[in-house]
Amino acid sequence: MIPIENFLVLSGLLFAIGLFGVLSRRSAILILMSVELMLAGVAINFITFASYRDTEAFSGLVFALFVITVAAAEVGLALGIVLRLFRERRTANVDEASSLKW
Amino acid sequence: MTFFDQVHAVGPALALYAGAGAVLSADLLQGRRASIWGLAVVAGVVSLGWTLAQLIVGVEAGALGGAVRVDAFSIYLAAIIGGVVLAVTLAAREWASTLEQAAEFYALLLVSAGSMVLLAQAEDLITLFVALETTSIAQFILVGITRNDRSSEAGLKYLLTGAVAAAILLYGFAFLFGMAGTTSLEGIAVWVASAPEAQRLPLMLAFVFVAVGIGFKMALVPSHAWAPDVYEGSPALVATFLSVASKAAGFAVAMRLFYTALGGGDTFISQDWGKMFAVLAALSMIVGNTGALLQTNAKRLLGYSSIAQAGNIAVGLAAVAAGSTAGPSGVLFFLGAYAVTNVGAFVVVSLVADRLGSEQIADYAGLVKRSPAAAIVLSLCLVSLTGIPPTAGFVAKVYVFNAAVQSGERWLLALVAFAVLNTAISAFYYLRWVRTMILDEPRDATPFRASGGVQFVLAVSAVGVLLFGLDPSPLIQAAQDAAAALL
């Protein structure tokens, strides 16, 4: 059997790459994609733990499904808002969405 | 457990969800003629009434196969959330009638509040996560509902921060699940109680992720950056809901997670997370208070104030881990006092924005001559936020700080000293606003009046602030009962 560490490193890397993307990207779309990477890391984590443990493994798998569903809902909404902002300002760059600054 | 018992347990949340459904259906079937406002008020009243019925008739604790737990703790929070959503609905009548999507506004408000009630009841990580996201997603739309440029921008910022916070929270959940092998909070508690010392580091990693993720709801550093932008950009009544109900739900989750699952004051890691919350509380207070000092926009100032207040409340969370039983009841009392205070403040801001078309504090000059009631209620609320007697905010601060001092831990004493220093800083910007309203001359002295619903909400808020300030014992008793249910 593949050691559990391999999967944990994979999910940790995905999460870290996603977090780096969130902090470094300036386009709202790319930030959303980075969030998706973070969530993919989380889902892999849940599935790994669920399959390497013998007790109550189901709840981990169910959790992964909920993560995927909720992420889809969130991205759908986010794209709607980005689209509206884009129509008003012709940009999806979060640096230029800065009318709310002190 | 019969079917009715199950329904009774989640009744307050169901009433709010049903209200949302009724509002949307009425809008669809009757369009403009429908009295959607009335339906939303009825939903709020039924939810509050049902919460009260749970308290009087009693309710079985576990429901829905252990997914939720209904006890004095969840009832206390359901009462706060129900009260806030009712207040926002009552005050929103006039403003919402100008909205293109008034029905959607009420429906989303009710859905978000219903999920918050579920959130306070959640006894399982999965329920908790789904309720949390339902709350957030409804709020993302509410923030951007007015279809102007700033509202959309605030919505986008809120959504992006919220999505990242949710991912971080989930990463922490994944490790909790991986170590304990179960998503049930009780199961995790059983595991933590017998966990070997070697698990300390992974457990600390998990709860730091959880605290950062859930801090988004509470507007606690380091997930606080959205608050000023979102409060400024969103409609004042939506900001009311975010600042009070959302914060209460966030602290409820934090208390359930850290108190129930991570074992309160008597496990090997409770000192660790107590210290973490102490650091977060100190940072929130200083960031919020220094940020608020130079603000000229009322809602933006209240946004920074909300961060600072989250810091004050988190002092109670830090005291939790020191083994002091006053900690959790202090947090709960503070949330109750904060709810009546902040609703009053935000509703006045919303009224002024409506009538004067301005959110600048300079335009509050001489408000006492134009609308004495609004000016007096806002002054009272600001005095309460500062923490000056005889208001609810004073009792709340004394209660929470006292809980921290009681433990006798040196780091908690230092935290309280820092918090008192911060209260002095906060007095500067809160009382400057009061002075502007009362002493400065208005540029235009035309008086204006509030609508009936707004007047009612302001009166209730003012009475609450004074009542809990002069005779806090009933609320303290309720908070202590609620905290006892948590232990």
What residue in A sits closest to B171 (Cα-Cα)? A42
Which residues make Cβ contacts (< 8 Å) with residue B424, sequence separation at least 6? none
Q: Do B144 and A84 touch (CB under 8 A)?
A: yes
pLDDT of the residue at B265: 60
- Tell me which of A44, A70, A87, A91 to substitute to probe the interface with B (most B C-beta atoms closer than 10 Å): A70
Report yes or no: B484 at the A interface, CB cutoff 8 Å.
Answer: no
Global confidence as pTM: 0.93
| Interface predicted TM-score of the whole assembly (ipTM), two decimals | 0.93
Interface A–B counts its CB contacts (< 8 A) at: 128
Spatial contact of A32 and A75, defined as CB atoms under 8 Å apart: yes
Q: Do B152 and A94 touch (CB under 8 A)?
A: no
pLDDT beyond 50 at A102 = no
- Joined tokens for residue B352: 């002024």
- List CB contacts (< 8 A) between B178 and chain A: 45, 48-49, 53
* Alpha carbons B194 and B49: distance in angstroms, whole number: 41
Q: Which fold has domain A4-89?
A: Helix Hairpins (1.10.287)
Q: Mind listing the pLDDT tens digit for each residue in A81-92?
A: 888 888 877 766
- List CB contacts (< 8 A) between B131 and chain A: none
Cite the DSSP H helix spans in B97-148.
102-121, 125-143
- Joined tokens for residue B353: 């924005």
pLDDT digit string (tens) for chain B, length 487 residues: 788 888 888 889 999 999 999 999 998 888 776 688 999 999 999 999 999 988 888 777 777 777 888 888 999 999 999 999 999 999 998 888 888 888 999 999 999 999 999 999 998 999 999 999 999 999 999 998 887 778 888 888 899 999 999 999 999 999 999 888 888 888 888 888 888 888 888 888 999 999 999 999 999 988 888 999 999 989 999 999 999 999 999 999 999 898 888 876 667 777 888 889 999 999 999 999 999 998 889 999 999 999 999 999 999 888 876 666 788 889 999 999 999 999 999 999 999 988 888 888 888 888 888 888 899 999 999 999 999 988 999 999 999 998 888 877 888 889 999 999 999 999 999 999 999 898 888 877 788 888 888 999 999 999 999 999 999 999 999 998 888 888 7
Spatial contact of B368 and B437, defined as CB atoms under 8 Å apart: yes
Report yes or no: A21 at the B interface, CB cutoff 8 Å.
Answer: no
Q: Mind listing the pLDDT tens digit for each residue in A27-53?
A: 888 999 999 999 999 999 999 988 887
Q: Which of A66, A81, A89 sits opposite B126 (nearest CB)?
A: A66
- Tell me which of A77, A79, A91 to substitute to probe the interface with B (most B C-beta atoms closer than 10 Å): A77
Q: Where are the domains of chain A?
A: 4-89
Spatial contact of B50 and B70, defined as CB atoms under 8 Å apart: no
pLDDT of the residue at A101: 52
CB atoms within 10 A of CB B166: 26
DSSP state of B64: G
- List CB contacts (< 8 A) between A53 and chain B: 178, 181
Place of tokens 């986008």: B156
- List CB contacts (< 8 A) between A31 and chain B: 160
Pairing of strands B68-69, B62-63: antiparallel
